[in-house]
Structure 1
């Protein structure tokens, strides 16, 4: 707490120049006596702060002195402002905290870095959710986040992908925002797994605390879990598909796996611009729905059973509109 207050005192003097003890005390909501002690501590640590006495006096730093925040380069400082996601912080109840942190960082920067950061804020806006998708704000996100911060166990009712409900006691190690969906990575039943927070129907923080493994790597676990999930999902084998130009321009709608197939396996286009690709599928039913949205701009070549399913779907659609 005191270290944070000392930094705040230093930043106030750096950004505003000369300030009286009363002014510093008012800004930090502490006593004047506390300000005196903090100024002495700053001076003892090597910060060149001095006092001018008299009615117009106060504390100020030696001209030209600035803290450099452990030597951030201009590009590093600008990247911090580019990376800060207001929407993400807002979901976790940290929006005002992020704003305050960025103001403190901005105040501590030399002029060149401050100019670059301001330019980034003026000219780059990150809107992470995809088109026509609202970011998830699950009702139990704040409860889960609190359990993560405080290392408290959670008792949840969780709805699995097939709709069945299970009860779990979880030790939550971390939060992940994947696109617009929030996940909690937690240990339950002796193993670590990822749970989509929007599928948590009830959540209650339990008494006690758990020990978070000191060597647990959230980023590394999520990468491994994501790769394992993709391998699990695409069990339907491969489909050979002809993709027309119009479908190719909208192929991004099928997600990164299909996009990768179009990019990596497409042969040379024919005279009409159609290309042949090989793509993994989850199941025939998933492929029927996904590829069916492109209508006549996609043709399944193989396997024969999927081609027959697509033909029957087209015939059923034709009868519906006959």
Structure 2
């Protein structure tokens, strides 16, 4: 543990130049006294680190000194794919590992490229979850991720839609972060399936399995998402949308609605309204989705959906007299 911290001190000084004991302590989440001891240990090991006294002082390496102890561990290499998702890396138990890997990468870069990389990190930040939801906090996620890494089967207690609890023995193949929610792609009884991590009530790690060589996680998720979308939005509604409602479609109906609006070839009327076909869910969810647009949306077809929306409006009107 201390050897890893000493390397981190060395790489921080190499990457950033002069740093105070307080700054080093903050980066490493240790006490200032521990930093003093670590600096003494580095000096005793022959590392040319020296201290500048005074208010603007701090520790730094002799000009031109560069360590070559930058080899990545297996865990650090794994974490690099999550370099733009620090919260996701933390959920997977790779937060500190990712920080160490990034330090080693910066140390291995020439000075000009290191400066450019630092400049990019200060100008671009990837924040995946939407405003109304963050990434799910899941205590079991790290254990599931470890089973994926180690290609070990899992026996899970899973709560299906409708609160039906089932037991499944699965072969975990990959994790997906979608809109702040974590999903597991796994093989069960010869079929590839998707499980939402938050619905796993319990698990037991079993023996290893042979990962299928032809499994492509990105392709699987693309195909599964398309099938899920078709099942979820199995109903079609012909509607009229006001200019304001058209701008709200991507926010209220997501990518599905935005695509339908983009592909529509309807010409706006004099007031700017357009007529198009929207995919909607079955039952009550469709009513709620359409009512979000208020007076900016009018359902034309099918007749039963138009009547359901009208009935919901009448019931709402009764509440307000």
Q: Same fold (TM over 0.5)?
A: yes
Question: Deviation of residue 15 (structure 1)?
Answer: 4.2
Query: Which residue does the alignment assign to 1:251?
Result: 249
* Partner of residue 190, structure 2: 190
After superposition, residues 51-70 of structure 1 pair within 5 angstroms as none
Aligned-partner Cα distance in 2 for 1:157–1:278: 40
> What per-residue deviation string (whole Å, max 9, x for no partner) do you get for residues 239-288 of structure 1?
11111122222222211111111111152222222211111222243321
In structure 2, C-alpha distance between the alignment counterparts of 1:65 and 1:166, rounded to whole Å: 56
CA gap of 1:82–1:91, structure 2 versus 1, over 3 A, is closer
1:116-195 correspondence to structure 2 within 5 Å: 116-195=116-195
Q: Give 2:31's aligned residue.
A: none
Out of 148-157 and 245-254, give the one that drifted further. 245-254
Structure 1 residues 134 and 15: alpha-carbon distance in aligned structure 2, compared to 1, 3 A threshold: closer
Summarize the alignment of residues 220-231 of structure 1 with structure 2, pairs less than 5 Å apart: 220-231=219-230
Quick check: 242-251 or 176-185, which moved more? 242-251
For this pair of structures, how many residues does the alignment match? 270
Q: Residue deviations 1:38-78, cap 9 Å, x none?
A: xxxxxxxxxxxxxxxxxxxxxxxxx89999x9xxxxxxxxx
- 1:51-130 matched pairs, under 5 angstroms: 84-130=84-130
Is this contact kept in 1: 2:83–2:98, CA < 8 A?
no
List structure 1 runs of 4+ shifted beyond 3 angstroms. Answer: 14-17, 63-67, 80-83
Deviation of 1:87 (Å): 0.8
Quick one: structure 1 residues 167 and 65, their matched pair in 2 at CA, closer, same or farther if it must change by over 3 Å? closer
Quick check: 2:182–2:196 contact (8 Å CA) kept in 1? yes
CA deviation profile, 1:123-151 (whole Å, cap 9, x unmatched): 22222111111211223212211211222
| SS across alignment from 1:255 | helix
Aligned partner of 2:51 in structure 1 is none
- Give the corresponding residue for 1:233: 232
**Whole-Å separation in 2 of the counterparts to 1:188 and 1:229:** 18
Matches of 1:257 and 1:188, distance apart in 2: 29
| Map of 1:286 onto structure 2 | 285
Consecutive unaligned residues in structure 1, runs of 5 or more = 18-22, 36-62, 70-79
Q: Which residue of 2 aligns with 1:309?
A: 308
Counterpart residue number, 1:44: none
Secondary structure of the residue aligned to 1:273 is coil
How far, CA to CA, are the matches of 2:157 and 2:265 in structure 1?
45
**Partners of 1:277 and 1:321 in 2: CA distance:** 31
* Pair 274,83 (structure 1): closer, same or farther in 2 beyond 3 Å: farther
Distance in 1 separating the partners of 2:168 and 2:310: 44
Q: Decide which moves more: 302-311 or 261-270.
A: 261-270
Structure 1: distance between partners of 2:163 and 2:309:
28
SS at match of 1:170: strand
Other structure's SS at 1:276 match: strand
Can you give the 5+ residue segments of structure 2 that lack an aligned partner in the other structure? 18-37, 47-63, 71-79
Q: In 2 relative to 1, CA 66–276 (structure 1 residues): closer, same or farther, beyond 3 Å?
A: farther
**How many Å separate the matches in 2 of 1:155 and 1:321?**
52
Aligned to 2:58: none
Give the superposition deviation at 1:97.
0.9
Partners of 2:100 and 2:109 lie apart in 1 by 15
